[in-house]
């Protein structure tokens, strides 16, 4: 069985065109640009679902982040991967809509680097949530204002990528209005 750190990722160029594959460990050790996705889930009141990553995760353990993030496998589409990981991490699936993608670079703990072309998907869900305890230690729904306040008050409690994604999402909402 392939461990999560040995998973093959899709490497891409600045136009999100596939250039090859590499292992997750190599991509995150060397900062190789690769395809990723982030899923933002809202309840029917417009509150965003956040998960607290399990403490034993190989990086960013114990930090708050969006419903799920990961990478598509070389043999699946990004939307297929988003549905797969939402089910694996949070124990549910729901309709997802693609809204945009953007590229970012960030240094993580454990000498890891995120350099991702991140595809953002949104969905609405208010049913039962049964997260995988190896992935998630807790979860909650918060208003966008509450999230913004908490990020300002305690930025160290959130994953680096979530702070970037959240700012991009808020900018996206502001350009739509």
Beta-carbon count within 10 A of 19 CB: 12
69 assigned to active site = yes
Closest of 8, 11, 36, 10 to residue 23, by C-alpha: 8
Q: State the average pLDDT over residues 4-20.
A: 90
Model-level pTM? 0.93
pLDDT at 107 over 60: yes
- What top-level class would CATH report for the domain 6-174? alpha beta
26 assigned to active site = no
Q: Per residue in 112-130, pLDDT tens?
A: 899 999 999 999 999 999 9
pLDDT at position 65, please?
97
pLDDT at position 108, please?
78
| Average pLDDT along the chain | 93
pLDDT at 14 over 90: yes
What CA–CA distance (Å, rounded) separates 37 from 51? 16
Q: How confident is the model at residue 5 (pLDDT cuts 50, 70, 90)?
A: low
Q: Per residue in 33-71, pLDDT tens?
A: 999 999 999 999 999 999 999 998 877 889 999 999 999
| The one catalytic residue among 69, 89, 114, 135 | 69
What CA–CA distance (Å, rounded) separates 17 from 8? 16
pLDDT at position 59, please?
76
pLDDT at 177 over 70: no
| The one catalytic residue among 8, 89, 114, 116 | 116
Q: Domain spans of the chain?
A: 6-174
């Amino acid at each position: 069985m392939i461990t999560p750190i040995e998973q093959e990722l899709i490497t891409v160029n600045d136009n999100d065109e596939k250039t090859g594959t590499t292992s997750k460990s190599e991509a995150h050790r060397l900062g190789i640009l690769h395809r990723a996705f982030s899923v933002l889930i809202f309840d029917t009141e417009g509150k965003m679902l956040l998960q607290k990553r399990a403490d034993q995760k190989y990086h960013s353990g114990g930090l708050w982040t969006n419903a799920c993030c990961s990478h598509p496998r070389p043999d699946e589409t990004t939307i297929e991967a988003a549905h797969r990981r939402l089910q694996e991490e949070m124990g549910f699936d729901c309709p997802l809509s693609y809204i945009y993608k953007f590229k970012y670079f960030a240094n993580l703990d454990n000498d890891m680097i995120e350099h991702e072309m991140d595809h953002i998907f949104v969905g609405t869900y208010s049913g039962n949530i049964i997260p995988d305890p190896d992935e998630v230690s807790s979860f909650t729904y918060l208003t966008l204002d509450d999230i913004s306040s908490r990020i300002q008050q305690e930025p160290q409690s959130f994953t680096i990528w979530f702070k970037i994604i959240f700012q991009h999402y808020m900018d996206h909402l502001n350009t739509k209005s």
